[in-house]
Structure 1
């Protein structure tokens, strides 16, 4: 298996592999180029996004700045919105559904490292260059979700459709559909129901 195949299969892999490094540097460069654009430069931004995140839906809007490790392993649905400082470490697949909105400072992290330092620390190739071994767990986010500011989602998590994740949450476990979930670690507070409709709110 290639290092990319090992990576996408969730096995330990060498991230210093030349093919992976080439895509990593390309994505970092495209992220930086995007960050140098203004939000009214729509054609230029779309061109960059098409190269950085080939699988993105219509009306994707990333406020910027952004940072992607690979980009090509991220999949964005229709009508996706991310406010400032959107970070995606996508050595595993990151799949986001339709009509998902992110507040500022959202971080999605799929990389995982061994707990034992004997397996985590740097080691040497035959030529003396150093590398580490990593693995990944994918992230899946359903349709119609809203994340408050400063949310971090850890690899291996699936967040169902219709969820609201409160500001400052660190999501370390799956969240079922239509949940209001908050905290560190993030926990479900309750189900979101018809009773939450704005028509029942007074003073609005």
Structure 2
């Protein structure tokens, strides 16, 4: 049974948002994403799972994307509504793994501190869901936390683990050390772009 000590339960994250214990919250749009969007052709659909305060929604919107952000924590969705003002309607309260997006397929899924918030047992499901929600050739872009430590959250990826999970369905198109990590991720985060194969 899920409890407030279980990071797979919304209540776990509700407490942290209500108490302001959100060290992963960058308070704005990371430089890597801003640079990526500035060089992108724009347009298309973008999804931000586990969006938290969802600052990035405005950046995608300004770059011409139709964007949906989703979080299963009511307190996170409330924080996003406060941060986004007129764009708050882009945020959905729901479970990324079960939410019905209808027939919509996305051009981009943006990752920032969602995968590492999930207990490790969810990783295969995360990769399968991302594949299913992206159109062929679509991109999984964002920040991935690499840390061999066992405790969490954040739950870090082992060296080569993400590649092993994605290699059958995705091609790694870009990989660099993150330059705008918040302190909780500093030195252990990478900016990566993964392209979905057909």
Of structures 1 and 2, the one scoring higher in RCO (CA 8 A, sep 6+) is: 2
By percentage of residues, which structure has more helix?
Answer: 2
* Alignment TM-score > 0.5, same fold: no
Give the TM-score, by structure 1 length.
0.24
TM superposition score normalised by structure 2? 0.24
